[in-house]
Amino acid sequence: MLLLAVSMSELDFRPRFKFEVGCGKEAFAERIKVQLRLNNPHGFRGKTRHEHFLIRVDPKQKHFWSPTLDVSWEINENQKVEVRCLVAPEASIWTMFMFFYVVAGFGTLIGLMIGSSQLTLDTNPWGFWLAAASFLLGIILFFVAQFGKSLAKEEMLELKSFIMGVCDQ
């Protein structure tokens, strides 16, 4: 196994890492299935589709911030199987956060536009308050996401350890 990049930055909301394995694509997929059946002390659940695997935390232990491990693999230019992993919150949580980030960004932009127009027209520039509140919402969302990620850190490391264990077979 050749480790290409293991970056689980403290600031990434969805950390990524990748590595190469010496076996073929089908053998790697089979290894994941075997590992889920036979050597799975954390009770992870997995679904596969083509060259893509989604590994989730045991539903009995799952909480709001529980991560999923999204694993995909393909043959790279060196004719080796390159495995790419993404540790992320459930899709519904990710979508909710992205929606609120877009609302915060849009509110900041609109507030700046309204405030600038009001400033040019020599009226009360309350639009800047909207921009500041929206920007503050974005910052609060970022810290809430980091807090949630810290609550899920142990599960994230268990998922990473699990997929690296597949390679050690």
Query: Is residue 2 predicted with pLDDT exceeding 60?
Result: no
How does pLDDT run across 131-147, given as a tens digit for each residue? 999 999 999 999 999 89
Task: Tell me: do 107 and 66 sit in the same domain.
Answer: no
Task: Tell me: do 10 and 83 sit in the same domain.
Answer: yes
Q: What are phi and psi of 50, to 5 degrees?
A: 55, -120
pTM: 0.75
How does pLDDT run across 3-54, given as a tens digit for each residue? 444 444 555 667 888 888 877 778 878 888 888 888 788 888 888 877 788 8
Q: 77: domain range? A: 2-89+155-167
Task: Tell me: do 42 and 20 sit in the same domain.
Answer: yes
Query: Do 127 and 83 form a contact (C-beta atoms < 8 A)?
Result: no
Task: Tell me: do 54 and 102 sit in the same domain.
Answer: no
| Tally of domains in the chain | 2
Helical ranges in the chain per DSSP H: 25-38, 91-120, 127-151, 153-167
